[in-house]
Structure 1
Amino acid sequence: MSYVVIATMIAKPGQEELVEKTLREAAADVHAEPGCARWALHRKTGTTGHFVMVEKWESKEALHTHGKGAALAGVGRALKDALEGPADVAVFDALPAGDAEKGAL
């Protein structure tokens, strides 16, 4: 079973570039983590500081390891004073439906 994560982060005014740069730079390391099927950064349309990370992990263990890993720890250190508050992280069980390519992440 795969796990989908939606993580929302809101940058403090003036910190938008730092947040985006930090997340972009972490991507290569996170993508190399075992079990990472997707870690994709998005910005809410019409905003400069509302970021959403869409993730897909191949197992609960891979997601847990990511949460304790060096890449995410580095992001946390870099952004500790740059966000309005803690990231809002929600984990979902995938429920594929319909077309296999369109009905699941």
Structure 2
Amino acid sequence: MAHLTIVANIKANADKVDFVKSELLKLIDPTQAETGCVQYDLHQDNDNPAHFLFFENWESRELWQMHSNSKHVKDFAAATEDAIDELSIYEMTKVG
């Protein structure tokens, strides 16, 4: 069965880039320890430092949804509520 790939685009408010980055970095270790996490990589745009991207692979949609409801994700959302300008999440499947 194919993994579920998640691409999450996060755009921080211009005055909150460092704060959002520090909060995003806090997600990595607990997420990588979660059941079903195959890959969880954070990227920052070279031309627009306010733009971050998580590239994730999960064993199943159900396990990704458990991650989405985890305490560390909820803590991140609460901490960055007024610091994020835009958030988009894409669920994808590798085709080639």
Q: TM-score w.r.t. structure 1 length?
A: 0.85
Aligned to 1:93: 93
- Superposed, which structure 2 residues align to 1:15-94 within 5 Å? 15-85=16-86, 87-94=87-94
Instruction: Give the secondary-structure state (helix, strand or coil) at the position aligned to 2:15.
Output: coil
Partner of 2:8: 7
Which is richer in strand? 2
Q: Secondary structure of 2:55's match?
A: strand
Structure in which a larger fraction of residues adopt helix:
2
* Structure having the higher Rg: 1
Shift of 1:94: 2.0
Matched positions, count: 95
CA apart distance, 1:83: 0.6
CA RMSD, Structure 1 to Structure 2 (Å): 1.0
Q: How far apart are residue 16 of structure 1 and its match?
A: 0.2
TM-score when scaled to structure 2? 0.93
